[in-house]
């Protein structure tokens, strides 16, 4: 297959939405999971089922979030604990995609932290520039 054939061929697979998810805050008893609602809208997502587990089987926490909000505060966790987090996004046609990560809650004396990954910081900066340009254009 040559380069032009590759360009003409239509792919039916989905690209990975993983860079669109990130943990934006962590505290002693919670973390905040955030996601980009605009770039993931083509999948028609409705809600997210979030599961946080530790290495102890009795320590499974499950919560549901509305996808259109763009973030969810997952509360009720133990302090200073490593959690494996699985976020399953469901849409009109069922399960759309799955995101997995790990989060360690802070010790009791820890202060809330804002976390920014390179991808989320870049997308936030780009969004701010686009918004500012739109405001100037429409003014």
**Model pLDDT for residues 52-75, shown as the tens digit of each residue:** 999 887 889 999 999 999 999 999
Assigned token pair, 2: 């040559």
Confidence band for 50, pLDDT divided at 50, 70 and 90: very high
Assigned token pair, 31: 């973390």
CA 50 and chain centroid, separation: 10
Domain ranges in the chain are 20-138
Residue located via tokens 């032009």: 4
Q: How many CA atoms lie within 13 A of 39 on its CB side?
A: 15
35-39, 53-57, 69-73, 91-95 — which one is most confidently predicted on average?
69-73
* pTM score above 0.75: no
Using a pLDDT cut of 70, give the percent of the chain over it.
Answer: 65
Pick the CATH number of 20-138 from 3.30.70.2860, 3.20.20.30, 1.10.3470.10, 2.60.40.10: 2.60.40.10
């Amino acid at each position: 297959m040559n380069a032009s054939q590759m360009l003409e061929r239509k792919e039916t697979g989905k690209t990975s939405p993983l860079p669109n998810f990130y943990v934006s805050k962590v505290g002693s008893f919670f973390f905040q999971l955030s996601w980009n609602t605009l770039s993931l809208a083509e999948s028609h997502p409705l809600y997210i089922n979030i599961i946080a587990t530790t290495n102890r089987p009795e320590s499974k926490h499950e919560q549901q979030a509305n996808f259109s909000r763009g973030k969810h505060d997952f509360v009720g966790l133990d302090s200073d604990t490593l959690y494996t987090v699985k976020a399953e996004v469901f849409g009109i046609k069922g399960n759309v995609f799955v995101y997995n990560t790990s989060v360690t809650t802070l010790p009791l004396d820890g202060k809330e932290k804002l976390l920014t990954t390179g991808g989320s910081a870049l997308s936030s900066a780009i969004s701010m520039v686009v918004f500012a340009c739109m405001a100037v254009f429409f003014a």
